[in-house]
Homo-oligomer: A and B are copies of this chain.
Amino acid sequence: MIAENHKNDLLAILGSDNVLWEDADRVSYESGARFDRGKAALILRPRDTEAVSAVVSYCVKHDIAIVAQSGNTGVVSGSTPDGSGEQVVISLDRLTRQFALDRENRSLRVDAGFLLSDVNGKLAEHGLQFPIDLSADPRLGGMLSTNTGGSRFLKFGDVRRNVLGIKVVLADENGTVLDLMSGLRKNNTGVDWKHLFIGTVGAFGIITECELNLEPLPLQVATALLVPRDGAAVMPLLAAMERRLGSYLSAFEGMSGNSMKAALAHVPSLRNPFSNGDVAPYAILTEVSRDWATRDGEQSLDDVLESVLAEIWESANAPLADAFVGPPHDLWALRHALSEGVKSSGRLVACDLSFRRGDVIRFCDHMKEVLPQKYPGITVCDFGHVCDGGVHFNLVLPADQPFDAEAEKTLRAYVYRTAVEEFGGSYSAEHGIGRKNQAFYDRYTDAHRRALAHGLKQLTSPAKIGTVRF
């Protein structure tokens, strides 16, 4: 709970329209997208960077803990308050004034509260996009502070690669505003500070504005569903596609049979893309895209994809067992429904892992052998971005089996330990860190790096901010 005088002071700073305190108004800011449930002292909704700075300064001076919250679509408790009722939530949801397109610079100066869907909706009119493709619809500030990746990483990279500048409010007594908004693509004049704030979930400051690199919206897209001969054929298949399609290739997403079956069972609008109705044990959604329309004398993109697949099909020791060139909408609908489908099919333990590219399938195969012995009835529903080493490694336990929070913790710890210690991977590829995986940060970050991060925290935002202890 917050003292009445602090509440009144914050109301005076922001105006009563921009502060929420009633139970019913707070609830959506206190609940995470999947499982979280905390309690906030107050919800502050500043409308610009100066207002963020003013309330941060006030909170720091009065030792009030702050949690910054963006679209609240994260899954690691990175942006929800804890259960103490003492943390103030600073929501970015009203930071939606500035939207300044610079066509010559191919960039967008924008407030951090915009939804990704709004940004790309507006940009589409200009034939441009912020090229991050996600199943969720977060706000920009959260995307920057978790450095989201998504399904087109192969071609466009992650958020970090597409940020030209940020404005960030530090959690110090002044609510210092660090203006790193040059909008330059090349600038090597000392520390490039923005990289410290991207991916560190608001622990070093609150990103309130940003300048984004934009890419042309593709004018042609072709997709296919590929069935690799077996697990060992996945990387050769990717290599064969990269060699023949280079920068045309914009997605190469692995989908396990279990995850496709779960999606088809739980999302009735989906079409089963397999001609005989039998879902393959593993398939890959691949996409090629071009920024221009087919010209006279040029093959259509569907034809390019068909002929490349035919070439691979006919090659010696072909890595392909089957392939269907299919309509992008249907195939992406299936891909984007996997998460929902898996969630609906039982008790879910979701792990967001990454590896060197060659290790994704090796890890999954290993775990599919080992896990059922330890956990009878477990289903592995993996899917994700084999082309960049990422995999959403989802484990579904039968709903009727005894499985409590402690058991989940043990299972998760086992999966992470195998991923990190045996396969040299990461326990958080693109979800970032939050309260949910603090223990793994503490365990898998060596002492020197933890000490550096702690020192950096003291330098930038020494006050109580965020959900992670650096």
B-binding residues in A (CB < 8 A): 102-107, 127, 146-147, 149, 153, 155, 157-158, 160-161, 176, 178, 182-193, 195-196, 198-200, 216, 218, 235, 239, 242-248, 290-292, 295-299, 303-304, 307, 354-358, 385, 388-390, 424-433, 437, 440-441, 444-445, 448-449, 452-453, 455-456, 459-460, 468, 470
CB-CB under 8 A from A247, the residues of chain B are 155, 247-248, 291
Asked whether A146 and B246 contact (CB < 8 A) given A105-B358, A176-B448, the answer is no
CB-CB under 8 A from A216, the residues of chain B are 242-243, 246
Judge whether A243 and B426 touch: CB under 8 Å.
no
CB-CB under 8 A from A244, the residues of chain B are 291-292
Judge whether A449 and B178 touch: CB under 8 Å.
yes
CB-CB under 8 A from A430, the residues of chain B are 186, 188
Please tell me which one of the listed residues B102, B186, B248, B290 contacts residue A429 in the complex, with CB atoms under 8 A apart: B186
Name the residue of chain B whose CB is nearest to the CB of A235: B104
Min CB distance A19 to B, Å, is 29
Q: What's the number of copies of this chain in the assembled complex?
A: 2
Min CB distance A235 to B, Å, is 5
Asked whether A190 and B246 contact (CB < 8 A) given A161-B157, A183-B356, the answer is no
Judge whether A470 and B426 touch: CB under 8 Å.
no
Q: How far is the CA of A425 from the CA of B460 in the complex (A)?
A: 26
CB-CB under 8 A from A239, the residues of chain B are 103-104
Min CB distance A9 to B, Å, is 26
Q: How far is the CA of A296 from the CA of B427 in the complex (A)?
A: 45
Min CB distance A361 to B, Å, is 10
CB-CB under 8 A from A356, the residues of chain B are 102, 104-105, 107, 183-184
Asked whether A441 and B189 contact (CB < 8 A) given A216-B243, A426-B184, A459-B455, the answer is yes
Judge whether B292 and A246 touch: CB under 8 Å.
yes
CB-CB under 8 A from A424, the residues of chain B are 182-183
Judge whether A390 and B307 touch: CB under 8 Å.
no
Name the residue of chain B whose CB is nearest to the CB of A200: B191
CB-CB under 8 A from A192, the residues of chain B are 147, 160, 195, 198-199
Judge whether B188 and A146 touch: CB under 8 Å.
yes
